[in-house]
Amino acid sequence: MDFSQFLTVQLPTLLVVVFGVPAVLAGYIVGFELVVRRLPDRTQPRVRPWIWVGPALAFVTVFLVYPALDTIRISLTDRQGNFSTANFASILGGFPTGGAWIAIRNNAYWLVLYTGFVMFFGLLLAVLTDRVRYETPVKSLIFMPMAISFVALGVIWKFMYSYQPPGAPQTGTMNYLMTTLLHADPVTWLQNKQINNFALIAAAVWGYTGFAMVILSAALKGIPGELLEAARVDGAGEITIFRKVIFPLLMPTITVVGTTLVILALKAFDVVYVMTQGNFDTDVLANRAYFELFNFGNPGRSGAVAVILLLAVVPVLLFNLRQFRTVEARR
């Protein structure tokens, strides 16, 4: 890009973003504030919050609600633009191996195993790191995988699962350990249909355990020490204290973290796309929607998969919001 193009195209766009957008928002707020002040005193408190929420609602409507509704419309339309449920019939037909049923099965694996293991290791590490001497550096080390994207995580673990034929030098970490420590044959971690889904889930668990640990550790530190001391004075052991005192008090936070992980499991895409592209029966719903649209050129079937994913995510999201309100109400 030459300097003249920067002056004529990029610079005006930059100025509009930096100065124009804040100016429009300021004008919106000031203008409507003047209108609100002319209203009766009883009406002003009810109207003013909507003035501030208005831009956010407009943003959500344009960039979230409208695309969702349009996706539903596309999913119910055939290639000629006529109303049809054939896209859903194609996606949900052929049970148990046809359509998107393999992707649905794999999403169920992610839902149970990914959520369960991240919660288990996150809670375990939150309790253990709270008792070690060098708590901060240990937590920072465990949380470090969260600093990289899931795409980079997939690349890293794809190298770790790399396979070379028996007798050849193993470049992948997992197969190097298999051949040197266990003296076993190398394993095709990403091609073997019996274990490849679990290998992908293990990589994702490594990446997100730090997230669960940090949130649960913060909740753990919010438990009054007097309760724990009182339980010890009454003769309760550490395991009993955890079961009877710590775990019940952590349940609201565990529920929020768990439902967040459920949403992430349902939306799993990055790791699968980078490591296998859904081959070898590792497909998931988000990956299937991507390939239906960009590889097969079928927006109807892609929209149908997206709608199925939306119907699965929305109830969990609403439950999560309800739990947030419950936690806030107890503070």
- Same structural domain for residues 25 and 125? no
Instruction: Report the number of distinct structural domains present in the chain.
Output: 2
Looking at the structure, tell me whether residues 164 and 293 fall in a common domain.
yes
47 and 190 housed in the same domain = no
- The answer as to whether 87 is a domain residue is no
pLDDT of residue 13 exceeding 90 = no
Residue type for 101, please?
W
- Interior angle at CA 320, CA 145 and CA 139, nearest 5: 25
* pTM (2 d.p.): 0.85
pLDDT of amino acid 59: 87
Locate 95 and state its tokens: 């049970």
The answer to whether the beta carbons of residues 181 and 253 sit under 8 Å apart is no
3-state SS track over the chain: CCHHHHHHHHHHHHHHHHHHHHHHHHHHHHHHHHHHHCCCCCCHHHHHHHHHHHHHHHHHHHHHHHHHHHHHHHHCECCCCCECCHHHHHHHCCCCCCCCHHHHHHHHHHHHHHHHHHHHHHHHHHHHHCCCCCHHHHHHHHHHHHHCCHHHHHHHHHHHCCCCCCCCCCCCHHHHHHHHCCCCCCCCCCCCCCCHHHHHHHHHHHHHHHHHHHHHHHHHHCCCHHHHHHHHHCCCCHHHHHHHHHHHHHHHHHHHHHHHHHHHHHCCCHHHHHHCCCCCCCCCHHHHHHHHHHCCCCHHHHHHHHHHHHHHHHHHHHHHHHHHHHHHHHC
Supply the range of the domain harboring residue 46: 3-75
Q: What is the pLDDT of residues 240-296, one digit of tens each?
A: 888 888 888 888 889 889 988 999 999 899 999 999 999 999 999 999 999 999 998
CA distances from 124 to 120, 128, 131 (A): 6, 6, 11
The rounded Cα 146 to chain-centroid distance in angstroms is 12
Q: Are residues 187 and 122 in the same domain?
A: yes
HSE-up of 22 (CA within 13 Å, CB side)? 5
Domain identity same for 150 and 196: yes
pLDDT tens-digit map of 121-163: 999 999 888 888 888 888 989 999 988 888 999 999 999 999 9
Percent of the chain with pLDDT over 70: 96
- Look at residues 77, 104, 58 and name the one whose alpha carbon lies nearest to residue 311: 104
* Domain assignment of residue 192, yes or no: yes
Model confidence pLDDT, tens digit, residues 158-200:
999 999 998 888 889 999 999 999 889 999 999 999 999 999 9
Rounded distance, CA 149 to CA 132, Å?
A: 29
Q: Is residue 118 part of a domain?
A: yes
Looking at the structure, do residues 274 and 148 belong to the same domain, yes or no?
A: yes
**Do both 60 and 101 map to the same domain?**
no
Residues 50, 194: Cα–Cα separation, whole Å: 54
Do 168 and 310 belong to one domain? yes
Position 111 scores a pLDDT of 94
CB 253 within 8 A of CB 215: yes
Per-residue pLDDT at 68: 92
Residues 70 and 174 in one domain: no
Tell me: the pLDDT tens digits for 27-68? 888 888 888 888 888 888 888 888 888 888 888 899 889 999
